[in-house]
Chains A and B, each alone.
Chain A
Amino acid sequence: MKLLAMSRNDILLFVGFVIFTLAGPIILEPFGAGYPDLLQKFAIFGIFALGFNILFGLTGYLSFGHAAFLGAGSYTAVWTFKLFSMNPIPAIILSTLIGGIFAAAIGFISLRRTGIYFSILTLAFAQMSYNLAYSVLTPITNGETGLQLAQSDPRVLDVALGRDYGAVLPSSDFFGLEMTGYPGFYFCAIFLIICFFIKIRIFRSPFGLMLRAVKSNQNRLNYTGVNSRPYDLSAFIISGMYAGLAGGLLAVTDPLAGAERMQWTASGEVVLMTILGGAGTLIGPVIGAGAIKYFENIFSAFNDTILMNAFSFLPEVLQSAAVSVTSLFVGEGWHLTLGALFMLIVIFLPGGLMEGFKRISAMIKKRMNGGSDGSASSNPTTSA
Chain B
Amino acid sequence: MSILSVANVNKRFGGLKALDEVNLNIEAGTVHAIIGPNGAGKSTLLNCFVGRLKPDTGTVTFDGKSLLGIKPHEINQMGVSRVFQTPEIFGDLTLRENVLIPAFAKRDGAFKINAWNSVGDEKDLETKAMDMLADLGIAEKASDVAGQLSRGDKRRLELAMCLIQDPKLLLLDEPTAGMARADTNDTIDLMKRIAERGVTMVVIEHDMHVVFSLADKISVLAQGTVIVEDLPENIKGNLKVQEAYLGGAHL
Contacts from A to B (Cβ < 8 Å): 2-3, 5-7, 201-202, 204-210, 212-213, 215-217, 219-228, 230-231, 234, 379-381
Which A residues are CB-close (under 8 A) to B32? none
Given contacts A213-B93, A381-B94, contact A223 B119 (CB under 8 A): no
* Cβ distance A195 to chain B, nearest Cβ, rounded Å: 13
Number of A-B contacts (CB under 8 A): 119
- State whether A223 and B82 are in contact (beta carbons under 8 Å apart), knowing that A2-B121, A202-B115, A380-B145 are contacts in the complex: yes
Given A212-B92, A223-B88, A225-B73, also A201-B110 (CB < 8 A)? no
From known contacts A223-B73, A223-B82, A227-B73, infer whether A207 and B115 are also in contact, taking CB-CB under 8 Å.
yes
CB proximity of A214 to chain B, nearest CB, Å? 10
Indicate if B56 sits at the interface (CB-CB under 8 A): no
Minimum-distance CB pairs A-B, first 3: A225-B76, A216-B90, A225-B105
Q: Give every chain B residue within 8 A of A205 (Cβ-Cβ).
A: 114-119
A215 closest partner in B (C-beta): B92
Stretch from B10-18, B95-103, B179-187, B239-247 contacting the other chain:
B95-103
Q: A209-B97, A225-B77 are in contact. Are A204 and B143 (CB under 8 A)?
A: no
Give Cα A204–Cα B161 distance, bound, in whole angstroms: 20
Could you tell me if B110 and A379 are in contact, using CB atoms closer than 8 angstroms? no
B68 contacts the other chain (CB 8 A) = no
Given contacts A223-B82, A224-B102, A225-B165, 17 further A-B contacts (CB under 8 A): A2-B121, A3-B116, A204-B119, A205-B114, A206-B114, A210-B101, A212-B97, A216-B90, A217-B89, A219-B88, A220-B88, A223-B84, A224-B101, A225-B73, A225-B77, A231-B111, A381-B93
- The answer on a CB contact under 8 Å between A226 and B105 is yes
Task: Indicate whether B151 reaches chain A with its CB closer than 8 angstroms.
Answer: no
B173-205 with Cβ < 8 A to chain A: none
Q: Can you spell out 16 A-B residue pairs with CB atoms less than 8 angstroms apart?
A: A7-B118, A206-B108, A207-B112, A212-B97, A217-B88, A220-B88, A223-B72, A223-B82, A224-B81, A225-B77, A225-B105, A226-B111, A227-B71, A231-B111, A234-B113, A381-B97
Bound-state Cα–Cα, A234 to B91, Å: 23
Closest to A208 in B: B115
Are A201 and B114 within 8 A (Cβ)? Answer: no
Contact at A206–B122, with CB atoms within 8 Å? yes
CB distance A217 to B90 under 8 Å?
Answer: yes
Cβ of B91: which chain A residues have Cβ within 8 Å of it? 216-217
Chain A's closest residue to B96 (CB) is A381
Give the interface of B toward A (CB within 8 A): 50, 71-74, 76-77, 81-82, 84, 88-94, 97, 100-102, 104-106, 108-122, 143, 145, 161, 165
Taking chain A's interface residues, is the majority helix, strand, or loop, or is none over half, making it mixed? helix
Distance between B91 CB and nearest chain A CB, rounded to angstroms: 6
Name B104's closest neighbour in chain A (CB-CB). A206
- Assembly CA distance A220 to B50 (angstroms): 12
Enumerate chain A residues within 8 angstroms of B84, measured Cβ to Cβ. 220, 223
Query: How many angstroms from the CA of A217 to the CA of B98 in the assembled complex?
Result: 11
- A234 nearest CB across to chain B (Å): 6
Q: For the complex, give the distance between the alpha carbons of A202 and B143 in Å.
A: 20
- In angstroms, Cα B121 to Cα A2, docked, is 9
- What's the Cα separation between A224 and B84 when bound, in Å? 12
With a cutoff of 8 Å between Cβ atoms, the chain A residues found around residue B90 in the complex are 212-213, 216-217, 220-221
A206–B76 contact, CB under 8 A?
no
| B113 neighbours in A (Cβ, 8 Å) | 207, 234
- Which chain A residue shows the least CB distance to B77? A225
CA distance in complex: A222, B115 (Å): 20
Q: A224-B101, A225-B106 are in contact. Are A206 and B73 (CB under 8 A)?
A: no
Contact A220 B116 (CB under 8 A): no
| Inter-subunit contact A226/B93 (CB<8 Å) | no
By beta carbon, the residue of chain A nearest B146 is: A216
Q: Is the CB of A213 within 8 A of B101?
A: yes
Nearest to A220 among chain B residues (CB) is B88
Given the known inter-chain contacts A217-B91, A227-B73, please indicate yes or no for A206 contacting B117, CB distance below 8 A: yes
Give, as a whole number of angstroms, the nearest-CB distance from B120 to chain A: 6
Q: Known contacts A206-B104, A213-B93, A216-B90; is A227 also within 8 Å of B110 by CB?
A: yes
Task: Tell me the minimal C-beta distance from A32 to chain B in angstroms.
Answer: 39
Question: Is A210 within 8 A of B104, CB to CB?
Answer: yes
- Name the residue on B nearest A214 (C-beta): B90
Report the minimum CB–CB distance from A90 to chain B (whole Å).
Answer: 26
